[in-house]
Amino acid sequence: MSDSNEKPSCYACGAILERDHIGITCPQYHNLCSDCSKKFVDNIFEDYQANLPPKCPMCTLEIPALNFERQLSPAALATYQFYLASTKLEEGEAMQWCPKCNYFEIWCTTSTATLFYCRNPSCEDVVCIFCNKSVKLPDYEEFTNREINSDEDEQDIEEEYEKMLEEGFFYHQICVELYPMKKKIDNAIEEGEFRRCPQCGLSGRKDEYCTHMTCSVCQTVWCYFCGKKEADCDKDYTGNDIYAHNIDWIRNNKRCPMHFNQIHELDERWPENDEDCLNRFHQLLTLKSLKKAIDEIGENNYYKIAEHFPSIKNNGYGIQEILSVQEEPLIDMARADEFSEGRRSHSDEDSLDPFEDEEIEELAAGIDEL
């Protein structure tokens, strides 16, 4: 600040703040008031795995942990602490947590345990580590020490004990059997709903801009549509950068459009605006990915998984919708060719100009300007 007596202000809303305000302050003294700090924190935890560690939107410097922690609710603080611990894991270690109270422990990945016993004194829940449901286990001592009245005998008590075991511990043994197949389905959904950097594997979704991506971790330039690195993309002879990958994409199925909303002009199945196109793109990828996974595990096993794990049953993709997916290109190039020919038929057939339809040439380039 140029004036040592000048009070700081919130860069988001402009509110004048006291020097000892309780909002967020980054190392470069960019400030957020309490209300804007809360909104900032809420946005962070919409996808904390992608948004942490917290960084100042103005200068991108990391916000000091203590400054950030004082903005958090108890639940958010537990999630943040879980995140911090997960960043310190060594090889062969994994996080296990109680979904009821957020208590967590670091386990060896070689552990064969199937149940998580929460050691939080106010919780002490027992949870299946595969389905995250509470497991009600019978108290053996309670049963063995129970006095037998005239209406029951030892066999009744044993049967009750066995029933509780069957509904509790033994019921969750099927989780062990089904979990590897559930993991295949989970991975298939993730592969469809996100794109991974072809170099380092960082997962994410594009914004509203073009299909040219630069990885924030390894700086690899790649195409969001086909998922290939710039070096591996098919390109026009006129250039060697990612832009050359967009040239003549309507006639070359090895090329990709620069913008999603260009596709509608060629394939009417696609929406006209970019956001809807992006949603359709990932829906198609997810359906194809799920179809491949179900082909691997078998349709009957998928029904078992969906019945046992609610997250699979409620994933938003119906089994018939998945099974009806056809192995066809994302863009119907036959329709694109028809569109191209139709547009040409309206041009001047006697024209000697080699660029008789300038609009088609602009579309073929895949970009408005290079």
Q: What is the model's pLDDT at position 288?
A: 94
Q: Is there a cis peptide before residue 180, judged by omega within 30 degrees of 0?
A: no
Q: CB neighbours (10 Å) of residue 31?
A: 22
Asked whether residue 259 carries a pLDDT value surpassing 70, the answer given is yes
For the chain, domains (ranges, CATH) are 1-88 (3.30.40), 93-144+154-171 (no CATH), 240-341+358-365 (no CATH)
The full DSSP string for 318-343 is: -HHHHHT-----SS-HHHHHHHHHHH
Please tell me whether residue 154 adopts helix, strand or coil conformation. helix
CB contact at 8 A, 27 and 61 = yes
For residue 169, give the nearest of 192, 190, 139, 148 by alpha carbon. 139
Please tell me whether residue 348 adopts helix, strand or coil conformation. coil
Q: CA–CA separation, 10 vs 22, rounded Å? A: 12
Please tell me whether residue 194 adopts helix, strand or coil conformation. coil
> Which of 14-28, 43-57, 230-244, 343-357 is the least confident region?
343-357
More confident residue, 341 or 318: 318
Please tell me whether residue 67 adopts helix, strand or coil conformation. helix
Q: What mean pLDDT is predicted for residues 119-143?
A: 80
More confident residue, 100 or 25: 25
Pairing relationship of beta strands 126-128 and 115-117 according to DSSP bridges: antiparallel
Q: Report the run of H or E that residue 95 belongs to, with start and end.
A: strand 93-97
Q: CB neighbours (10 Å) of residue 208?
A: 11
Q: CA–CA separation, 316 vs 177, rounded Å? A: 24
pLDDT band at 164 (very low <50, low <70, confident <90, very high): low
Q: What is the model's pLDDT at position 358?
A: 46
Q: What is the model's pLDDT at position 313?
A: 85
For residue 355, give the nearest of 336, 144, 196, 347 by alpha carbon. 347
Q: CA–CA separation, 142 vs 161, rounded Å? A: 10
